[in-house]
Amino acid sequence: MQLRTQGAIIGAGPAGLMLGALLAHRGIDSVILEARSRDYIEHRIRAGVLEQGTIDAMDEVGAGARMHEHGLVHDGALLRFAGRSHRIDFRALTGKAVMVYSQHELVRDLVAHRLAGGAPLAFEVDDVALSGIETARPEVRFRRAGQAAALGCDFIAGCDGFHGVARAAIPADRLRVFEREYPFGWLGILADVAPSSHELVYAYHDRGFALLSMRSPSVSRLYLQCAPDEDLAQWSDDRIWAELAVRLAADGLTLATGPIIQRSVTPMRSFVAEPMRHGRLFLAGDAAHIVPPTGAKGLNLAAADVRFLAEALVAHYKTGRVDLMDGYSARCLKRVWKAQRFSWWMTGLTHRFPEASPFERRAQSAELAYLAGSKAAQTTLAENYVGLPIE
């Protein structure tokens, strides 16, 4: 079967779905191809902190109603160490806030929005292969329900994640990879219990980092620093809650506990692939970069990528301009590296590194104390956390 569209989008995560919505909003056709089922992507628990730019993009395409109804606006966050809490007031320091709204809910909204508009979205495709990306007529071949198809297009957006096929289609001698593996992971749980704090709590403890987050007023999301290959079978519900209580303890906090409905271990890495464009192939989101989740930047970087890409493609189709397409990679990477720096810094500030010397541990404690007492340092953290201006 031979098909034709203006844009082929590989992957129906936040990046692919948002790009499709932005393009449709501007009258540009696209087809989205997704390897997983609709049910899988709509229940895949991931990040949940949205910057204003991501919120604006959802509103622009008309998919933000449920987000505003259920999202939790946070004007600040708590930094907890040495038995005390210190609030970072985002609103007072920057005039901005963030919104807690789970990624799978955002995906659900974008899927419903796309299907309601009748735009093509194919689930459970396999054997995806890209060709002609250095020509003016690239093509994506795939199979769906056993039937082979070829999708001709003007451009391909690789939004298919770290393990996808898009980045692998770029010749190895054209790609530079920058990567760091961290010596720990996050044991994350989803619990059917109201959050013990109405704002996120980032906790440094001698036993390791902990994070108290939430997905709704009745569902908590919490994390523990652990070994990257931690055996979940060794972590009973009681052990998880006991460890969280120790690491989050401060100012008389009583940690509310409840049924754990999901648990997983997430390895931690920093990763950037340069450039993010090769010929008619544009990488976006996790296909091009991974950040440690400490800084809440992964989803927001993906949204920024596709906003830049949509702007470039609209300029190309509406006015014939190519400068924004040519500058796509450099523009994205400028933001990506700032987010990488912040996520790396936040991770180093709040985690216990097993190889750290006694000197490095004392210096880490001193940096936490400086941050707690310095408005200038808090402003730097707040500016990065709520999202740097779009350039």
More confident residue, 306 or 48: 306
Q: What percent of the chain is predicted at pLDDT more than 70? A: 100
Is-contact 268 292, C-beta < 8 A?
yes
Does residue 29 carry a pLDDT above 90? yes
Q: At how many degrees (to 10) do helices 298-319 and 14-25 cross? A: 30
pLDDT tens-digit map of 122-158:
999 999 999 999 999 999 999 999 999 999 999 999 9
Provide the token pair at 133: 């990306």
Specify the CATH number for 182-268+353-386; select among 3.30.9.10, 1.10.3720.10, 3.30.420.10, 3.50.50.60.
3.30.9.10
Does residue 379 carry a pLDDT above 80? yes
**According to the model, what pLDDT value does residue 326 have?**
97
Domain with CATH 3.30.9.10 in the chain: 182-268+353-386
DSSP class of 389? P
Q: What gap in Å lies between CA 245 and CA 234, rounded to an integer?
A: 18
pTM: predicted TM-score of the whole model, two decimal places: 0.95
Residue type, 271: F
pLDDT tens-digit map of 231-246:
999 999 999 999 999 9
Domain with CATH 3.50.50.60 in the chain: 2-74+98-178+269-346
Q: What gap in Å lies between CA 88 and CA 85, rounded to an integer?
A: 10
- The catalytic residue positions are 74, 202, 293, 297, 385
Is-contact 33 180, C-beta < 8 A?
no
Helix (H, G, I), strand (E, B) or coil at 257: coil
**According to the model, what pLDDT value does residue 154 have?**
97
Does residue 252 carry a pLDDT above 80? no
CATH class entry, domain 2-74+98-178+269-346: alpha beta
